[in-house]
């Protein structure tokens, strides 16, 4: 349930209303927009009479929200959320960014790749220190040593880093290293203990859609994080598993405008994992940009044929630079401006 507050309402009146809501065992989420304040009532609202609420002097109207996701719902928060990733980088609310880097951190080549993607226009550096793999015998990442290399590259280039967290027990080491954006991968999209644990921080979370997850399941995963107090969630469409075998996954491009309509959270698109093949990454990056994605995540490697993981979908630095020029042209065509 949401209550739209009249413009004439004072802060004291709103405070009294929130106290009354909380006395009923509910939580109140306040969202202030231009000329309008919305209070979301979260919890078992069946005990609240909407006609009673609507009769209150400060309330303009009341609307029930049928979707199970509340905090992530645009009805609760009409304005776009802007997630501050540090180093002057913000995602959402018209801020467009590109995350780029290798699938996994392998060593000193991280610095060559990082310099190349930044020069081409990337604003965040990605790299996996911990790698969830289908086979237990595949490369699992460098672990803490990989985090240290990412932090070193971050400090050199003054750009935030994005890396995956897989275990609630690793939260403190991510905090200690000031990792700016924590990625929740597709395999952990419904790891509810992990979602709750990262929700207890205020760190930006790049939340990927599950391998076979629906859009609503992605939003409910975001709800787990937000329900613990962390509003800084970036939704990521990275392809879903279907019967099609010509690509690694099926890139659900529909999800970009659908998520933007349903939720106020920024939407990122990952054409690398979605397609699984270098030759398809750029066309789908362009399509996602045109569809309204706030952010792209693209894998880049200086020697893809010798990459320790997912080399088949990585762009070379030269290919990435050319792709960024084309992305800028698409943004200019659909938005009329390029920052």
Q: Say yes or no to pLDDT of 337 above 70.
A: no
What are the structure tokens assigned to 207, written together?
């939340």
What are the structure tokens assigned to 258, written together?
């659908």
CATH class name, domain 83-335? alpha beta
Taking the C-alpha atoms of residue 282 and residue 271, their distance in angstroms, rounded to an integer, is 8
Q: Say yes or no to pLDDT of 66 above 80.
A: no
Q: Residue 25, class by beta-carbon neighbours within 10 Å (0-12 exposed, 13-18 middle, 19+ buried)?
A: exposed
Identify which has the larger pLDDT, 47 or 86.
86
Q: List the chain domain ranges.
A: 2-63, 83-335
- pTM for this prediction: 0.88
Taking the C-alpha atoms of residue 314 and residue 110, their distance in angstroms, rounded to an integer, is 14
Q: Which CATH number describes the domain made up of 2-63?
A: 3.30.70.1140
Identify which has the larger pLDDT, 34 or 41.
41
Which letter does DSSP use for residue 289 in this model? H
Give me the pLDDT at residue 336, please: 64
- CB half-sphere exposure, 196, CA atoms < 13 A: 3
Give me the pLDDT at residue 339, please: 47
Give the mean pLDDT of the chain: 93
Task: Give Cα 54 distance to the centre of its chain.
Answer: 35
Q: Say yes or no to pLDDT of 297 above 80.
A: yes
Taking the C-alpha atoms of residue 206 and residue 127, their distance in angstroms, rounded to an integer, is 13
What are the structure tokens assigned to 201, written together?
């921080």
* 38-42, 200-204, 216-220, 325-329: range with lowest mean pLDDT: 38-42
Cα-Cα-Cα-Cα dihedral sign, residues 177, 155, 85, 286: negative
Radius of gyration of the chain from its Cα atoms, rounded to whole angstroms: 21
């Amino acid at each position: 349930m949401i209550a739209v507050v009249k413009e004439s309402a004072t802060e004291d009146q709103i405070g009294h209303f929130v106290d009354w809501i909380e006395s009923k065992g509910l939580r109140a989420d306040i969202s202030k927009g231009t000329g309008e304040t919305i209070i979301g009532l979260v919890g078992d609202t069946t005990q609240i009479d909407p006609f009673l609420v609507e009769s209150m002097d400060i309330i303009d109207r009341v609307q029930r929200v049928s979707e199970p996701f509340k905090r992530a719902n645009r009805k609760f928060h009409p304005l776009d959320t802007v997630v501050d990733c540090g180093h002057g980088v913000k995602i959402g609310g018209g801020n467009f960014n590109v995350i780029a880097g290798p699938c996994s951190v392998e060593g000193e080549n991280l610095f060559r790749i990082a310099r190349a993607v930044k020069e081409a226009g990337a604003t965040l550096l990605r790299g996996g220190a911990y790698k969830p793999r289908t086979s237990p015998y595949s490369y699992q990442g460098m672990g803490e040593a990989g985090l240290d290399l990412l932090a070193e590259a971050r400090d050199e280039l003054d750009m935030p880093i994005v890396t995956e967290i897989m275990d609630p027990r690793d939260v403190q080491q991510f905090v200690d290293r000031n990792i700016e954006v924590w990625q929740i991968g597709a395999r952990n999209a419904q790891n509810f203990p992990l979602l709750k644990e990262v929700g207890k921080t205020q760190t930006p979370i790049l939340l990927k859609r599950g391998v076979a997850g629906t859009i609503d399941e992605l939003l409910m995963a975001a709800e787990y994080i937000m329900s613990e107090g962390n509003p800084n969630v970036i939704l990521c469409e990275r392809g879903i598993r279907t019967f099609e075998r010509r690509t690694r996954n099926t890139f659900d491009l529909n999800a970009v405008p659908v998520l933007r309509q349903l939720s106020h959270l920024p939407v990122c698109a990952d054409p690398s994992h979605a397609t699984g093949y270098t030759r398809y990454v750029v066309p789908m990056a362009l399509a996602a940009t045109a569809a309204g994605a706030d952010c792209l995540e693209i894998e880049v490697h200086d020697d893809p044929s010798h990459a320790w993981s997912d080399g088949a979908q990585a762009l070379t630095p030269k290919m990435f630079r050319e792709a960024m020029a084309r992305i800028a042209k698409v943004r200019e065509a659909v938005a009329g401006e390029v920052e």
